[in-house]
Structure 1
Amino acid sequence: MPFIRNTAFAFALALSTLAAPAMAQESNKDFVVKAVTELFSNKDLTAIDRYWADSYIQRNPGLASTSAVLKAALKDMPANMTYEIGMVIAEGDLVAIHGRYTGWGPKPMIVVDIYRVENGKIAEHWDVGQDEVLETASGNPMFEPMK
């Protein structure tokens, strides 16, 4: 029986080692989804204090860096603005969210936000976006909310 117990333990240890990178990615994924949900869906500006690094690097050309600048820029989010999360992809310290912002501008925007997590905080951000088009050539929607 010791052989079986030791073999089972070794097998379980090997599986946990193989799963460790995926678990780390899932952790960053869950962390960023929680952060952006609290900030953009719940419009809770204190989420910036909890989830963003003070030295946050902003790669959007319309905003300067630091969490203080982000908080000042978002303090007047429109009351009718909504944020929906679609696809979420994580690899290592990077998390990409395909989302829809409605009420931020004159038309709904489909945006891919890319976040880099470092030391338990969002340290960096990139984004690309475009107005949502409802009638596409393929007949497929540009955005589908997360299920």
Structure 2
Amino acid sequence: MKIYKIERTQQLPITISEAWSFFSSAENLSRITPPWMKFEVTGELPDRMYPGMIATYRLQPVLGITLSWMTEITHMEENRFFVDEQRHGPYRFWHHQHHFKEVENGVEMTDIVHYALPYAIFGKLAHKINISKKLNEIFRYRHEKVEEIFKQRK
């Protein structure tokens, strides 16, 4: 199984508690996901994130095909990090770490995603042709949207 990795770091002019409050709320995920994905939270979410929390979504990542996605928060330390892992969805493996660190003038946020695709050689080919590009577009959109959201707050 081929494991791919995406790592992105972003500086935000906010406090650690503001960053945690925003990013630990699954409801905000739709605000920072490209509109072409038609991302929608489908299940009820608690007021606060906790280890073991399950979140369900519906999205259209490619070619207008609607998929269901279920993730579990497997690890969490408030104001420092949390990890979501796919339990059901389009990937063979999905492990997404979200790290937060106080720095001068704000917070450094780092996303680290390890993922694998199903269908062996066909998954590798799809990654090369389309999936890698789409994931980079998603993270680029997220970066820009997060900057826009937090510049408005200051």
Normalising by structure 1, we get a TM-score of 0.33
Richer in strand (by share)? 2
**Which structure's relative contact order is higher, taking Cα pairs within 8 Å and 6+ residues apart?**
2
Normalising by structure 2, we get a TM-score of 0.32
